[in-house]
Amino acid sequence: MSGIALPAIASPRRRWARRYGLAAFGAAVIATWLVLAVFAPWIAPYDPSTVDVAARLQPPSASHWLGTDALGRDVATRVIFGARISLLVGFTVVLIGGAFGTLLGALAGYVRGWAEEALMRLTDLVFCFPPIILAMAIAAALGIGTVNTCIAMLVVWWPKFARLARSLILTQRSLEYVEAAQSIGFGPAHILLRQIIPNAVGPLIVLLTLDLGNAILVFAGLSFLGLGVVPPTAEWGAMVAEGRELVQQWWVATFPGIAILSVVMGFNFVGDGLRDWLDPHARTR
């Protein structure tokens, strides 16, 4: 017996760190950006729109931590203020689009019949076009501006939630607790909103969390193409576009690009952690 090596048993804290460590790190990154966005006027060292031609294209230094851009504006200040626009647009698009798509898909999955057919064909019609291309076309038609870009993104954002919600509702409505609620006398609206959706909300929460990073990335891409914010508003995608030709002044585009990367990875880590936590089979492993 002394020659047999027994497998080491990991402590609960170590198991939690191994399973949810990246999710906790992602949550910390997102929380940091939220704090910077909320308190930007008090944290940022300069005004984001102040032009100082004499200080243009200065490298990172003690006076300008992340350098200055072609107009002498402080890059660190603009990155901090850019978080306000990017995070606000991401949350707005995903929450509104997710709520609308979820209710539409849940209604289609529960009612069935011609209503389901019509709603799903509308969803398929939007899915026929690549989301970024359709958003670009709508944003170009509406005109440059944050509100118009949000509208363009909302048009292409809800179908994925509608399709997922419909599949979840179709699974849930065949279970015994739905038949029990119907036998008690609850109406369709009560069963759908108070019984079925709360039991099917787990995958929707995971999709919503993962999509927050995707929405921020798409908005940055539209701003990079000139279809997002109106200059001189500080926004990460527009800042990357301003520095794309400044090869030697690498800091102009690099730091807003790192900001986009950190937020997208943060939401992806949190989404993966939520998926593991909401999956009972994963929690028992």
Question: What does the pLDDT read at residue 3?
Answer: 55
Confidence of residue 190 (pLDDT cuts 50, 70, 90): confident
Question: What does the pLDDT read at residue 154?
Answer: 92
Among 173-177, 225-229, 274-278, name the most confident range.
Answer: 225-229
Question: What does the pLDDT read at residue 129?
Answer: 82
Confidence of residue 203 (pLDDT cuts 50, 70, 90): confident
All structural domains of the chain with their residue ranges: 23-46+64-283
Question: What does the pLDDT read at residue 66?
Answer: 93
More confident residue, 9 or 279: 279
Superfamily assignment of 23-46+64-283 in CATH?
MetI-like (1.10.3720.10)
Question: What does the pLDDT read at residue 103?
Answer: 87
Mean pLDDT calculated for residue range 221-248: 88
Mean pLDDT calculated for residue range 2-31: 72
Question: What does the pLDDT read at residue 12?
Answer: 66
Q: Label each residue of 11-42 as H, E or C.
A: CHHHHHHHHHHHHHHHHHHHHHHHHHHHCHHH
**Count of residues making up the chain:** 285
Cα separation, 224 vs 138, whole angstroms: 16
More confident residue, 222 or 168: 222
Question: What does the pLDDT read at residue 9?
Answer: 52
Q: What percent of the chain has pLDDT over 90?
A: 39
Question: What does the pLDDT read at residue 4?
Answer: 58
pLDDT digits (tens, 9 = 90+) for 149-166: 999 999 999 898 988 888
Mean pLDDT calculated for residue range 209-221: 92
Query: For all residues of the chain together, what is the average pLDDT?
Result: 85
Look at residues 221, 213, 276 and name the one whose alpha carbon lies nearest to residue 29.
Answer: 213
Mean pLDDT calculated for residue range 96-111: 87
Q: Tokens standing for 74?
A: 């402080």
Mean pLDDT calculated for residue range 14-20: 68
Is the peptide bond prior to 232 cis by the omega test (within 30 degrees of 0)? yes
Question: What does the pLDDT read at residue 228?
Answer: 85
More confident residue, 9 or 72: 72
Confidence of residue 284 (pLDDT cuts 50, 70, 90): very low
Among 119-128, 136-145, 190-199, 256-265, name the most confident range.
Answer: 256-265
User: Of the ranges 12-26, 129-143, 207-221, which one carries the lowest mean pLDDT score?
Assistant: 12-26
